[in-house]
A and B are shown apart, each in its own frame.
Chain A
Amino acid sequence: KQEVTQIPAALSVPEGENLVLNCSFTDSAIYNLQWFRQDPGKGLTSLLLIQSSQREQTSGRLNASLDKSSGRSTLYIAASQPGDSATYLCAVSLWAGYSTLTFGKGTMLLVSP
């Protein structure tokens, strides 16, 4: 059974710092990996999707990498801002005409002004 682990569970940084969130998964036979952001009491916002054949994806200040063989992904956030404060969830997916996501427990990020 696929297991997804995210480290650290919580992170507090001052504004402006670059930071890295880590995600590891036990079964490398994934279809893709998706990073989400979740604000308290809200739904999930998709940040980046990396297909299993890709190594990284970038969107603005966010960069996600994937090393499928070692079962690892990282989310890099450059020049963090208070508005980045949220929980970041990593999820890996199998695919059979629809997606079955397995989520990590998330990293709760607090960026202080």
Chain B
Amino acid sequence: DTEVTQTPKHLVMGMTNKKSLKCEQHMGHRAMYWYKQKAKKPPELMFVYSYEKLSINESVPSRFSPECPNSSLLNLHLHALQPEDSALYLCASSQDDPPLHFGNGTRLTVT
């Protein structure tokens, strides 16, 4: 069982919808990450939060909006997505040192 929990597991949304992906960890980790993974490709870093502050934004379009309400939670708010945004969205966390612990991901389909 993964210690990083992501909900929902699957999400289908239209291009005009607003939805959110949620990630939760209770390992006391201080850094949390969002990665995007297209089919048969490696994961690509989107955002990093360290001590609840956004530390890295890898030039992600503004239709993706991250939020870290507290040290255990990480959200990714989605709005006006495009079909090419369909992918597996992975959340990860780490303590002050690696390794990273990944969740099972949310499979997002944009129609």
Contact = CB atoms under 8 A, between A and B. Distances in A.
Is chain B found bound to chain A in the same assembly? yes
Interface stretch (A13-21, A62-70, A71-79, A91-99): A91-99
B99 interface: yes
A101 B48 CA distance: 11
Classify the interface of chain B: helix, strand, loop or mixed. Answer: strand
Interface residues of B, number: 29
B42 A46 contact: no
B48 A106 contact: no
B7 interface: no
Nearest to B91: A43
A10 B105 CA distance: 23
A89 B98 contact: no
Interface residues of A, number: 24
Given A32-B98, A103-B42, A103-B44, 18 more contacts: A32-B99, A34-B99, A34-B100, A41-B107, A42-B104, A42-B105, A43-B6, A43-B105, A44-B92, A46-B99, A46-B100, A91-B42, A97-B55, A98-B50, A98-B94, A101-B45, A101-B100, A105-B41
The 6 closest A-B pairs by CB, nearest first: A103-B42, A98-B31, A43-B104, A44-B102, A43-B102, A49-B99
